[in-house]
Amino acid sequence: MTIVITAFERSPDGGQGLARDTRVRWALEEVGQPYEVRLLSFRAKTRPAHLRLHPFGLIPTYEEGDLALFETGAIVLHIGERHAGLFPDDANARARAITWMFAAVNTVEPPILELVTARILEGDRPWADERLPLVKDRIRERLLQLSARLGDADWLDGAFSAGDLMMVSVLLRLRPSGLLDEFPTLAAYVARGEARPAYGRAFAAQRAINAP
Amino acid sequence: MTIVITAFERSPDGGQGLARDTRVRWALEEVGQPYEVRLLSFRAKTRPAHLRLHPFGLIPTYEEGDLALFETGAIVLHIGERHAGLFPDDANARARAITWMFAAVNTVEPPILELVTARILEGDRPWADERLPLVKDRIRERLLQLSARLGDADWLDGAFSAGDLMMVSVLLRLRPSGLLDEFPTLAAYVARGEARPAYGRAFAAQRAINAP
């Protein structure tokens, strides 16, 4: 069955790979599954046809025969359950990899989303300059903890897994801020993720659509 | 094997059930698994012994024989995979339930966490009063979309699932703000969750520790 995902026809980041379709493309490349992309305009995302697929009007979505999913984490988990390459065979190691997926989206990403909000939605507010350091410090707290856990390991728990795919993708959002470079351990971790051939193919595919 | 979770010996909410151990207690009650609780002081959460279990120094954690997990979403998913009662049998329906788990923690919860941050960490800042309406409006946008999708259904996708358990738990955090009452469909949905006997037992168990 053909896999079809959605992506924005013009990503707000201009092809830096930070839109969430890159995470799903990366997962599909890791497991070697071909896929098609349906491009969506910003206006189309809140139309009924898309809201039926994604109730929050976001991308990506994932369609495969009768199955329609949204939420990047759930899509990556689904891909990893169907195809080898994203989860270890051992049941306990697999549960720990899923733990890192949730840690990426529910513990590390929320303060990073606050930074995006502070810049994009509140950047012209009178409190913007004074508030930004507080937002950044809350991110630093998480990065410090993550860096301590990673230590000198290549990946978060043994071999590369969907947990690393999600964590690297979340951390990549920080690159424009310079925060990542304050933590060399994490900057090297992210670079290892980007160096994977599957990431390279996913990045190039979204870049081909979004490059100026 | 005995299941052991961690919880705070005094929850910051004084027993309203908003600490995340309640989510795991609820899941264990739904599937009828007994568990033990190891209580943790606020000072102990950043000590090495706890950081080995939870790199971000949070609760809950989950131990079962050799397996140690953190992150509520991952723990609830693990419980639902091992025991009947949290996921439908059909593989596609199960993937959709997992989609709602991720939607709860990665799309609906982040703006709610911003409200908690705005109140607790930035409540005394000069911008607090002027900024609060912006934060609340971003939550309302998500609640409106969620309410539209739920419609007059009891649960998000067929029978009650781990997706509902996570979504109801996330929405419960809004109760003190009054925002939930602006969306009667969602207020009724949350009330249905709270009316489940398993939730009642989970709430009572954490209340017994935290009641003033």
A104-129 tens-digit pLDDT: 999 999 999 999 999 999 999 999 99
Rounded Cα–Cα distance for residues A90 and A87 (Å) = 9
- Tell me: do A192 and A96 sit in the same domain: yes
Cβ separation B106–A148 shorter than 8 A: no
- Tell me: do A112 and A154 sit in the same domain: yes
* Beta carbons within 8 Å of B135's beta carbon, 6+ residues apart: B111, B114, B115, B118
Region of poorest pLDDT, from A153-157, B7-11, B76-80: B7-11
* Beta carbons within 8 Å of B67's beta carbon, 6+ residues apart: A92, A95, A96
What confidence tens digit (pLDDT) does each residue in B73-87 have?
999 999 999 999 999
Tokens of A186: 């994490």
The predicted structure's pLDDT at residue A42: 86
pTM greater than 0.90? yes
As a dihedral over the C-alpha atoms of residue A143, residue A144, residue A150, residue A156, rounded to 10 degrees, the angle is -30
The predicted structure's pLDDT at residue B11: 84
The predicted structure's pLDDT at residue A13: 84
What confidence tens digit (pLDDT) does each residue in A61-90 have?
999 999 999 999 999 999 999 999 999 999
- Tell me: do A96 and A192 sit in the same domain: yes
The predicted structure's pLDDT at residue A139: 97
- Tell me: do B38 and B113 sit in the same domain: no
Any idea what DSSP says for residue B87? S
> What CATH number is given to the structural domain containing B204?
3.40.30.10
- Tell me: do B37 and B120 sit in the same domain: no
Q: Are strands A67-70 and B3-8 parallel, antiparallel or unpaired?
A: unpaired
Output the average pLDDT for chain A: 95
Rounded Cα–Cα distance for residues A18 and A60 (Å) = 12
Predicted confidence (pLDDT) at residue B93 exceeds the cutoff of 80: yes
The predicted structure's pLDDT at residue A173: 94
* Beta carbons within 8 Å of A59's beta carbon, 6+ residues apart: A6, A7, A8, A19, A20, A21, A40, A45
- Tell me: do A95 and A145 sit in the same domain: yes
The predicted structure's pLDDT at residue A141: 97
- Tell me: do B15 and B64 sit in the same domain: yes
pLDDT band of residue B7 (cuts 50, 70, 90) is: very high
The residues that bridge with B69 in the sheet, in sequence order, are: B62
* Beta carbons within 8 Å of A15's beta carbon, 6+ residues apart: A206, A207, A209, A210, A211, A212
Which among B71, B92, B126 has CB closest to A107?
B71
Sheet containing B67-70: which strands, arranged edge to edge?
B36-40, B3-8, B61-64, B67-70
Once rounded to an integer, what is the mean pLDDT over residues B158-169?
98
> What CATH number is given to the structural domain containing A188?
1.20.1050.10
d(CA A205, nearest CA chain B) in Å: 25
The predicted structure's pLDDT at residue A211: 77
Spacing of C-alpha B97 from chain mean position: 15
The residues that bridge with A67 in the sheet, in sequence order, are: A64
d(CA A196, nearest CA chain B) in Å: 25
Once rounded to an integer, what is the mean pLDDT over residues B197-206?
96
Angle at A136 between CA A149 and CA B59, to 5 degrees: 45
Rounded Cα–Cα distance for residues B83 and A205 (Å) = 40
Which phi and psi angles does B53 have, rounded to 5°? -85, -40
- Tell me: do A13 and A82 sit in the same domain: yes
Residues B103, A70: contact at Cβ < 8 Å? Answer: yes
Q: Pick the residue from chain B with its C-alpha nearest to A67.
A: B92
- Tell me: do A43 and A33 sit in the same domain: yes
Q: Which residues in chain B touch residue A103, judged by CB atoms under 8 angstroms apart?
A: 55-56, 70-71, 74
Name the 3-class secondary structure at B133. helix
Q: How far does chain A reach from its first CA to its final CA, in angstroms?
A: 33
Chains A, B: CB contacts within 8 A come to 130
What confidence tens digit (pLDDT) does each residue in B102-141 have?
999 999 999 999 999 999 999 999 999 999 999 999 999 9
Tokens of A85: 């390459």
How many other CB atoms sit within 10 Å of the CB of residue A47?
12
How many other CB atoms sit within 10 Å of the CB of residue A196?
17
Predicted confidence (pLDDT) at residue B212 exceeds the cutoff of 80: no
Rounded Cα–Cα distance for residues A139 and A121 (Å) = 18
Rounded Cα–Cα distance for residues B77 and A9 (Å) = 34
The predicted structure's pLDDT at residue A118: 93
Query: DSSP strand E in chain B: where?
Result: 3-8, 36-40, 61-64, 67-70
- Tell me: do B14 and B106 sit in the same domain: no
Output the average pLDDT for chain B: 95
Once rounded to an integer, what is the mean pLDDT over residues A140-147?
98
Once rounded to an integer, what is the mean pLDDT over residues A49-53?
95
The predicted structure's pLDDT at residue B13: 84
Which among A75, A92, A95 has CB closest to B74?
A95
Once rounded to an integer, what is the mean pLDDT over residues B157-173?
97
Once rounded to an integer, what is the mean pLDDT over residues A31-38?
98
Number of separate domains in chain A: 2
Q: What is the maximal distance between C-alpha atoms in chain B?
A: 52
d(CA B204, nearest CA chain A) in Å: 26
Angle between helices B162-172 and B91-103 (to 10 degrees): 10
Predicted confidence (pLDDT) at residue A180 exceeds the cutoff of 90: yes
- Tell me: do A108 and A183 sit in the same domain: yes
State the residue range of the domain holding B169.
91-196
Peptide bond before residue B60 is cis, with ω within 30 degrees of 0: yes
Q: Which residues in chain A touch residue B75, judged by CB atoms under 8 angstroms apart?
A: 99
Once rounded to an integer, what is the mean pLDDT over residues A180-191?
97
- Tell me: do B156 and B189 sit in the same domain: yes
The predicted structure's pLDDT at residue B1: 87
Q: How far does chain B reach from its first CA to its final CA, in angstroms?
A: 33
The predicted structure's pLDDT at residue B201: 97
